[in-house]
Homo-oligomer: A and B are copies of this chain.
Amino acid sequence: MGNIKTNKDRIFKTAISLFSAKGFRGTSIRDIANAMNISISNIYHHFGNKEGLLVAILEHSSERLVKKLKEVSELDVPPKEKFKKLVETHIRLAGTFTEETKIFFLDEEHLSEEGEKINRNIQRQIYGFYQNVLQELDETGLIRCRSIKVLAFNIFGVINWQLRWYRPEGPLSLDEIIDEMLSFIMNGVFGTTGQNQK
Residues of chain A whose beta carbon lies under 8 Å from any beta carbon of chain B: 21-23, 25-26, 108-110, 145-147, 150-151, 153-154, 156-162, 164-165, 172, 176-177, 179-181, 183-192, 194, 196
Q: How many copies does the complex hold?
A: 2
Chain B residues with Cβ below 8 Å from A151 are: 180, 184
A166 → chain B closest CB, angstroms: 9
Given the contacts A22-B109, A153-B165, A164-B108, A145 and B188 also touching, CB distance less than 8 Å: no
Given the contacts A153-B161, A172-B147, A184 and B180 also touching, CB distance less than 8 Å: no
B23 with A184: CB separation less than 8 A: no
Q: Who on chain B is nearest to A185 by CB?
A: B188
B23 with A26: CB separation less than 8 A: no
Measured in the bound complex, the distance between the Cα atoms of B126 and A180 in whole Å is 21
Interface SS of A by simple majority: helix
Given the contacts A162-B157, A187-B191, A192-B187, A23 and B25 also touching, CB distance less than 8 Å: yes
28 contacts between A and B (CB under 8 A): A23-B109, A25-B25, A26-B110, A147-B172, A147-B177, A147-B180, A150-B181, A151-B184, A153-B164, A154-B180, A154-B184, A154-B185, A157-B158, A157-B159, A157-B161, A157-B162, A158-B188, A161-B161, A183-B191, A184-B189, A185-B188, A186-B191, A187-B188, A187-B189, A187-B190, A187-B191, A187-B192, A188-B188
